[in-house]
Structure 1
Amino acid sequence: MRFVLLFIAACALSACGLQPIYAGASGKGAVADLSAVDIAPIEGRDGWLVATALEDRVSLRETDAPPRYRLDVQLDDQLESLGLLSDERVTRERRILRARYQLVDIASGAILLDATAGSDAGIDVVSSDYATIAAERAAIERLAEVVADQIVTRVSVTLRQRN
């Protein structure tokens, strides 16, 4: 009886319709799709960080074939003061990085994906200016990685649905 119930549960789960992104083509489906994406230059230091993180994840080109898609990204980076003492000194900051991005088919100029990604990080403001600046820089580096992961995941899903 337990075996029958286990078999029925396994059949029900297999019919849910979910597929891994890397399914098909011996796991190279998403890699082949992502390797056809060119990252357009992104302005500023934060843009360089996000572009580098995206290149690390997307530029898997093994051939010299021209890219089929272009990824355009615009960033909005904000630093907000949160914690204030009675003498109006800031004790906590929040760094917010938002990205609006579009995946464009280079041949037709059609926009395949228009979406946003973002994340934020808390920063303790301490008496040492050097430590605070280092914490702010470390936060933007982490945020660039998180935003790049979100973008690549969404682009992978979009390209997978097109095929």
Structure 2
Amino acid sequence: MSSSDRRTLVLGLAALALGGCGFRPAYGPGGVASDLRGGIAIDPPDTRNAFALVERLEDRLGRAEAPVYRLGYRIGTSRKALGITGAQETTRYTIEGDLTFELVEIATGRLVQSGNVTAFSAYSATGSTVATLAAERDAERRLMVMLADQLVTRLIATAPGRAR
């Protein structure tokens, strides 16, 4: 049996196993999160961090075409010194992020889901002032991506259509 024949056989068996267990894509027709894709109006961003968060959420959930839900959020961040030299100079920082959210059904005003997700990112402060500022902004952007990804995972796992 050639390598490609084995690969085809293994993929076929995997597809059969997934089909047998009732696997359906989350965003697919009849999927538990099908109402979420293009169905969430996200509050507009008002800061650089909020812009990065909303950008990632829209990448994952799509822009609201016919919104069923409204997503409100509040971002909190704190920066802490992580690496300190003997001369008391900070060489590394960590940024901790906390995202509190509320998913509300637009038609009824009913709170569907709320909660918070947390993550952290770090950056080096050993370069020039410009390099350190660029590293800090990059760490903030990565943090917003992590928070958005955790939020989307939570929304899919507890989607309103989950009981179907």
The TM-score normalised by the length of structure 2 is 0.76
Aligned-CA RMSD value: 2.7
Q: Is the 8 A contact 2:94 2:121 kept in 1?
A: yes
User: 1:33 offset after TM fit, Å?
Assistant: 2.7
Q: 1:116 to 1:20 in 2, by over 3 A?
A: farther
**What aligned pairs does 1:19-98 form with structure 2 within 5 A after superposition?**
19=23, 22=26, 25=29, 30-59=33-62, 64-65=65-66, 67-98=67-98
Cα distance between partner residues in 2 of 1:18 and 1:93:
46
The percentage of counterpart residues that share the same residue type is 28
User: 1:136 offset after TM fit, Å?
Assistant: 0.8
Q: Report the equivalent of 1:102.
A: 102
Q: Deviations over 1:89-143 (max 9, x none)?
A: 1111101121001111111111111111121112121041111111111111111
Q: Is the 8 A contact 2:37 2:61 kept in 1?
A: yes
Q: 1:47 to 1:22 in 2, by over 3 A?
A: same
Q: 1:110 to 1:103 in 2, by over 3 A?
A: same
3-state DSSP class of the match of 1:94? strand
3-state DSSP class of the match of 2:109? coil
Count of residue correspondences: 147
Cα distance between partner residues in 2 of 1:91 and 1:24:
47
Q: Which residue type is aligned with residue 147 of structure 1?
A: L
Give unpaired runs (5+ residues) of structure 1. 1-12
Q: Report the equivalent of 1:132.
A: 132
3-state DSSP class of the match of 2:26? coil
Q: Is the 8 A contact 1:37 1:69 kept in 2?
A: yes
Q: Report the equivalent of 2:155.
A: 155
Cα distance between partner residues in 1 of 2:79 and 2:146:
17
Q: Is the 8 A contact 1:34 1:156 kept in 2?
A: no
3-state DSSP class of the match of 1:33? coil
Q: Deviations over 1:35-94 (max 9, x none)?
A: 111101233111111011111111255xx53x1100111000111112222322111110
**Which range moved further: 68-77 or 81-90?**
81-90
The TM-score normalised by the length of structure 1 is 0.76
